[in-house]
Homo-oligomer: A and B are copies of this chain.
């Protein structure tokens, strides 16, 4: 598996809300659990949960404390192992700084979105690029109604949407992360 050069970040700001206004979204407990478990399964190096608000950061710390060091982790060591992949950051710059302390490689940011953009990269091409091991990758996932257009424009790549042939494209971020990690890092089940 190729996850040792791949990081995941779950962003809560700047996101769109239902009316396409820029907002900070709330933490969802099950996002942390499900995405941490998927990251650990596909051997992603670290899962950054990113929120700018101090109150929400404290909530994240409480959850992580319970699972990384408290009773939750004693009761369910598999869950502790998954939750231990999580780090808290206040913004994307801090994420990039932390990754930069762990690697000297160039870091490429990849935005994900349910909407179609003109310059998307395919799963096939990105999977091939990741397997070359010459760069470090940060996959960005949004919450609410998606990552703001301004932030999307700053990313190096935008990954094509899941379900491009479907008439319905409203997966949860938990499901989207699972599918995208499987396509980029999972075993090649489709080969002979």
Contacts and interface: CB of A to CB of B under 8 A. Distances in A.
Contacts of A57: none
Contact of A179 (B81, B164, B169, B178): B178
Q: Which 5 pairs across A and B sit closest by C-beta, in order of nearness?
A: A175-B178, A123-B189, A178-B178, A34-B172, A179-B182
A43 B170 CA distance: 12
Nearest to A40: B168
Given A37-B171, A182-B182, A166 B42 contact: yes
Interface string A1-43: 1000000000000000000000000000010011001101111
Question: Of residues A38, A164, A178, which shows the largest number of chain B Cβ atoms within 10 Å of its Cβ?
Answer: A178
Contact of A169 (B33, B41, B79): B41
- Chain copies in the assembled complex: 2
Contacts of A124: 189-191
A86 interface: no
B37 A172 contact: yes
Contact of A175 (B1, B34, B123, B162): B34
Interface in A162-192: 162-166, 168-172, 174-179, 182-183, 186-191
Nearest to A29: B30
A1 B188 CA distance: 21
Interface in A86-133: 122-124
Nearest to A123: B189
A156 interface: no
A139 interface: no
- Interface hub of A30, A165, A168, A169 (most chain B Cβ within 10 A): A168
